[in-house]
């Protein structure tokens, strides 16, 4: 496995790889969720490239970029046994050199849910993902269902800008008690870690109601809110029952639907979702 930092080295190594190239984009501090994306890419592609870059432009002014967990050595030791061909670990200066002034912005679909809480977040995500796609030129890219809105925004960007990349969204990997894996779970300790299962429990309650025939979207939102309110440590930011593709809130559930939520536990912000239909 080769690890490169510079763009020239990345391009030279990329040119030496032929066949179907799969890209797994990460911000490091890898967990089982990332490893499952790499495994899926290995199954479907001739060569797999992993990017590790903590993208400063997707952090808001009140979000602590410097505290984002990082451990490159550990990440490389987790990736190595999976047969990854190349890891690209660019510096912020390579991605955003002095005088940088070009941005990729997707409109309506970035505004609700995460966009309502983190107004500059998706502009940073789409810009860096477009840059990573341009640099690596993958045939397929792999994202986690846990960041459902991110996946929807990237699908929209790829359609709108004609990127020749197939977007694959892979199932959320969960701890035994249902907590969705996330690099931010590292910040959850003691009672907050126990309380963090509330997201899975709230989504499960709404899903059972749906499976028992409930199709009123507001009733499903209320169900999720009631469960969240039963956990005094959890501070709800939003719950949503929306169309899977457009992310518009529904009145009546029909077709593919996204149940999603964001919750604060102490200072740790958690998101999770289930897909219905």
Report the interface residues with ligand PAF, using CB under 6 A. 25-27, 55, 58, 125, 128-129, 147, 150
Active site residue 121: no
Task: Name the residue nearer to ligand PAF (CB basis): 126 or 234.
Answer: 126
Closest contact distance (angstroms) between CB of 150 and ligand PAF is 6
Residue 192 to residues 62, 196, 228, 263, Cα–Cα distance (Å): 21, 6, 13, 12
Q: Which of 206, 198, 177 is nearest to 274 (CA)?
A: 206
Residue 171: CA atoms inside 13 Å, Cβ hemisphere, count?
A: 2
Q: Which residue in this structure is represented by tokens 């969960």?
A: 174
3-state secondary structure of 233: coil
Quote the least distance from Cβ 33 to ligand PAF, whole Å: 10
Do residues 221 and 239 lie in contact, with contact meaning Cβ atoms separated by under 8 Å? yes
Nearest distance in Å: CB 172, ligand PAF: 12
Of 150 and 257, the one with the shorter C-beta distance to ligand PAF is 150
Smallest gap from Cβ 126 to ligand PAF, in A, equals 9
User: Which residue's entry shows tokens 């080769």?
Assistant: 2
Q: Find, among 85, 90, 88, the residue nearest to 1 by Cα.
A: 85
Q: Which of 34, 47, 121, 139 is catalytic?
A: 34
Query: Smaller CB distance to ligand PAF: residue 27 or 65?
Result: 27
Active site residues: 34
């Amino acid at each position: 496995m080769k690890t490169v930092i510079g763009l020239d080295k990345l391009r030279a190594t990329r040119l030496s790889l032929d066949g179907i190239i799969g890209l797994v984009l990460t911000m490091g501090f890898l967990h089982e969720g990332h490893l499952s994306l790499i495994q899926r890419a290995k199954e479907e592609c001739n060569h797999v490239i992993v990017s590790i870059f903590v993208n400063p432009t997707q952090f808001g002014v009140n979000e602590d970029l410097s505290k984002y967990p990082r451990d490159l050595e550990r990440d490389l030791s987790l990736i190595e046994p999976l047969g990854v061909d190349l890891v690209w670990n660019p510096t912020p200066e390579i991605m955003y050199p002095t005088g940088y002034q070009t941005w990729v912005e997707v409109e309506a679909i970035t505004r609700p849910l995460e966009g309502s809480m983190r107004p500059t977040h998706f502009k940073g995500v789409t810009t860096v993902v477009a840059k990573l796609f341009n640099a690596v030129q993958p045939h397929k890219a792999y994202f986690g269902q846990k960041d459902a809105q991110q996946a929807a925004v990237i699908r929209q960007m790829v359609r709108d800008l004609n990127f020749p990349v197939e977007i694959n969204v892979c199932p959320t990997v969960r701890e035994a008690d249902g907590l969705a894996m996330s690099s931010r779970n590292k910040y959850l300790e003691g009672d907050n870690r126990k309380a963090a299962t509330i997201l899975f429990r709230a989504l499960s309650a709404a899903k059972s109601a749906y499976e028992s025939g409930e199709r009123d979207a507001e009733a499903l939102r209320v169900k999720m809110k009631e469960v969240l309110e039963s956990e005094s440590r959890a501070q709800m930011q939003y719950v949503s029952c929306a169309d899977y593709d457009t992310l518009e809130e529904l009145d009546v559930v029909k077709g593919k639907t996204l149940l999603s939520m964001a919750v604060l536990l102490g200072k740790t912000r958690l998101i999770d979702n289930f897909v219905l239909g």
